Amino acid sequence: MLRKSLIRALAGALGAAILATTGATAALAAPAVPNLKLNEIETDSTLDWAELINLESTPLDISGYVLTGRGNGFRVTIPEGTVVQPGSAYVAEAPELKLKKNDLLSVYAADGTTLLDSYEWGDFHLSTWGRLPNGTGEFAQLTAKSKGLPNEAPTGGGETDPGAGGAEWRAIKLNEVTSANVDPYRDAYELYNTGTVDVDVTTWLQADSGSTPKALNAPNGTIVPAGGYLVLLSNQGLSSDGDAVKLYLADGTTLVDEVTWGRTDAQPGSWSACGDGTENWLHTERDSWGESNAEACSGRIIDTSGSVPCQTEPPSDLGAPVAGGIAWPGSQKWSTADNQCQFNSAVSGQDVSGLDIDPSTPTVMWAVKNKSHLYRLVKSDGLWVKDTANEWGEGKRLVFPSGAGEPDSEGVTVGPDGALYITTERDNLNKSVALDSVLRYDPNETGTTLHPTTQWVLTGDFAGVVDPAKKDDANLGFEGITWVPDSFLVREGFVDDRTGRAYDPTDYQGHGTGLFFAALEKNGHLYAYALNTDGSFARVATMDSGMPRIAETQWDGDNERLWAVADDSVGGSSTLMKLSNGTFVVDRVYDRPAELANLNLEGFAIAPDSTCVDGAKEVIRSDDGNNGGHSLWSGTISCDLGLAIDTPGGGDGGGSNGTGGTGDAGGNSGHGETAVLANTGTNEPNSLAGLLAATGALLAAAGALMLIAKRRA
């Protein structure tokens, strides 16, 4: 352990020295930042565009400058030979420059990293919006689109910046549409009011993909009640080959919302927002006019292309991520990690709930489905596929100790004895009654059914949290499970809630060599249990994951951190927890990787450091449903998570989210930034001589650490 810490400490020190050198050099030659600003943005066109204005007093060559969009991940480079005169505008437009709601448009210099300007907006499209005054003021509604020309303020002052909120119309969202010619909902669409005030849409206008906005066809009235729905009929026919519904304010230019669909997506059934008011549109088999789409979205989803042979199961229970999260410390783009429809079967559907990579054999991963089935997965051509040996081909059925029942199996972990420990929320034959338990299975048992050797029934331990008689609570119980060794817990002073003192494994005879940490979905808490071989148990500690709901937990022994992971009910957030002052506390909150869809991702498995390549290792997420017939998604994570390393005289540098830990080099915020050498002089900036001195001090410290290691060895 000391050797590993020394290597990381040396690497961090040398990295800081290199960064300091780079910073000193850049400071001497840093060019002036060009004064180029976004001036107008249009997202309601066949071709979206952005206008840039040159606020310099001389012509500006913007060849090679770059525009990026967060929503669609585009990167558009301005052509060579593009020169903008002082005070003049340049209009950037390209097929790939496609902007969305909740988007961020950014402009970078030709180096691709120097940010010149950006604008972010909320859950609405921009139409006729630009800066007033030109290039320097806030974005506001204009009198008219002024592509390539100076912006003009509307006579009445116009709407304020949409990002600032204020107007009630912004709460109205398109929620459902059909192109079917079936009365009474012939070419119909539905509005949903996400706000708390009724909205009158009498004067509003509607268009399809190419028509001029016209008055609404409103046979059901024109009031969209707060939190309610209003069904309207299109004022022109909607095509089943692909079309759009666009909703405008009375001016005919301010776009309230729009939705588009492809061939046959809007019939039969409906093109539905799953959940209400979001941009997660799916083709539902049934309609849900005048009510929430939740039930329709939980039913059959139609794949009219025929490209997905298994039934797609959409995400549900969508919720906001934890506030203050930071970027995922690894790949933002993830890829499918299973064969299409790999887990589909007549009895269990296409979904995966829990995952765990076997620590002794990292090429093996265990996957459990809440339809009482367990799979042994192996790597093949970069994918995790079903092992076909030893009767594992279609997974093995799980039962309760009686040999009967259908465990609602949610989480799985490999124990130190090689057995598999699986959590349950209920018996699927009695879905309305909570049954929070842990089952131990021997994966070497022959046959296609696994029988548990032990069951720990923990339901009664959650009196006051989970109500066994409450139907909803039966689906909010134990999700993930992971095992943490006693050796770590004792060394780091883990506190036993039962005694109020340091955890002593000898107090729990028969529990093995570690504790099992289980995740309770309902309250987002982790519970540490000593599970004894005779079926008895003791709760040793309770910890708050920092999230209102939780779907999975994983122990990262290489970094000595505990992961708590949420599904789409918390926006796919995750927290990294460290042991501090006797308990696990939130060290960092991570956002869902930017390009990983907000699916019902319940499972989470992280590969060991032994698999690291170029400082990164694999992470797998599993969907308790499927997207395009796939349930496994693969990404990467930094092997060391960018964690600060313990050094003599310093703290751990972790800190809670947004707070630097004690001894954090350079006042780090606990977000994993690399520490940079501080200027040790009092009146001068960093110089080469000062940098060399600092580097020499680092090398001297490294030599001292090496000597200590040699003496201890």
Q: Where are the domains of the chain?
A: 2-30+645-712, 36-164, 168-298, 335-638
By C-alpha distance, which of 419, 424, 426 is closest to 441? 419
Given a contact cutoff of 8 angstroms between Cβ atoms, the answer to whether 279 and 269 are in contact is: no
**What confidence score (pLDDT) does residue 304 get?**
58
Indicate the SS3 state at residue 35.
coil
Beta pairing partners, 653: none
Please give the distance of CA 252 from its chain centroid, rounded to a whole number. 36
- Among 21-25, 136-140, 234-238, 299-303, the minimum mean pLDDT is found in 21-25
Rounded CA-CA distance 517/456 in Å is 13
pLDDT of 40 above 90: yes
Mean pLDDT of 335-341: 92
The CATH topology of domain 168-298 is Immunoglobulin-like (2.60.40)
DSSP H/E element including 19: helix 2-29
Task: Pick the more confident residue, 2 or 267.
Answer: 267
Query: How do strand 188-193 and strand 172-177 relate by DSSP bridges?
Result: antiparallel
Rounded CA-CA distance 626/313 in Å is 5
Indicate the SS3 state at residue 653.
coil
pLDDT of 128 above 60: yes
Pseudo-torsion of CA 621, 626, 296, 602, nearest 10°? -20
Which residues 6+ apart lie within 8 Å of 654 measured at CB? 578, 580, 587, 588, 643, 644, 661, 664, 670
Given a contact cutoff of 8 angstroms between Cβ atoms, the answer to whether 553 and 517 are in contact is: yes
- Among 17-26, 55-64, 87-96, 296-305, the minimum mean pLDDT is found in 17-26
By C-alpha distance, which of 163, 122, 117 is closest to 141? 163
Tell me the CA end-to-end span of the chain in Å, nearest whole number.
12
pLDDT-derived band of residue 121, with 50, 70 and 90 as boundaries?
Answer: confident
Mean pLDDT of 319-340: 92
Rounded CA-CA distance 532/454 in Å is 9
Query: How do strand 396-398 and strand 449-450 relate by DSSP bridges?
Result: parallel
**What confidence score (pLDDT) does residue 144 get?**
78
Q: What is the DSSP string of 380-420?
A: ETTEEEE--GGG-TT-EEE--TTS-S-EEEEEEEE-TTS-E
* 641-672 residue pLDDT tens: 988 544 333 333 333 333 333 333 333 333 33
Mean pLDDT of 545-559: 96
Indicate the SS3 state at residue 163.
helix
Task: Pick the more confident residue, 13 or 89.
Answer: 89
By C-alpha distance, which of 207, 609, 565 is closest to 411? 565
Pseudo-torsion of CA 481, 607, 513, 577, nearest 10°? -60
Indicate the SS3 state at residue 664.
coil
By C-alpha distance, which of 330, 278, 334, 284 is closest to 623? 334
Q: Do domains 168-298 and 335-638 have the same CATH topology?
A: no
Rounded CA-CA distance 158/167 in Å is 11
| Residue 674 CA: distances (Å) to CA of 20, 30, 291, 397, 613 | 11, 21, 51, 48, 20
Given a contact cutoff of 8 angstroms between Cβ atoms, the answer to whether 223 and 200 are in contact is: yes
Summary count for the chain: helices (H), strands (E): 4, 46
- Residue 138 CA neighbour count, 13 Å, CB half: 11
**What confidence score (pLDDT) does residue 25 get?**
35
**What confidence score (pLDDT) does residue 523 get?**
95
Rounded CA-CA distance 710/542 in Å is 41
* 58-97 residue pLDDT tens: 999 999 999 999 888 899 999 999 999 999 999 999 888 9
* 413-446 residue pLDDT tens: 999 999 999 999 999 898 889 999 999 999 999 9
DSSP H/E element including 297: helix 294-298
Query: How do strand 525-531 and strand 537-544 relate by DSSP bridges?
Result: antiparallel
- Residue 52 CA neighbour count, 13 Å, CB half: 30
pLDDT of 515 above 50: yes
- Among 274-288, 388-402, 550-564, the minimum mean pLDDT is found in 274-288
Q: Could you tell me how many residues make up the chain? A: 713
Given a contact cutoff of 8 angstroms between Cβ atoms, the answer to whether 304 and 200 are in contact is: no
Domain 36-164: CATH class, spelled out: mainly beta
Indicate the SS3 state at residue 196.
coil
In which residue are the tokens 């009967």 written?
A: 404
Average pLDDT, the chain: 82
The total of other beta-carbon atoms located within 10 Å of residue 20's CB is 21
The CATH topology of domain 335-638 is Tachylectin-2; Chain A (2.115.10)
Given a contact cutoff of 8 angstroms between Cβ atoms, the answer to whether 94 and 45 are in contact is: no
**pTM of the complete model beyond 0.85:** no
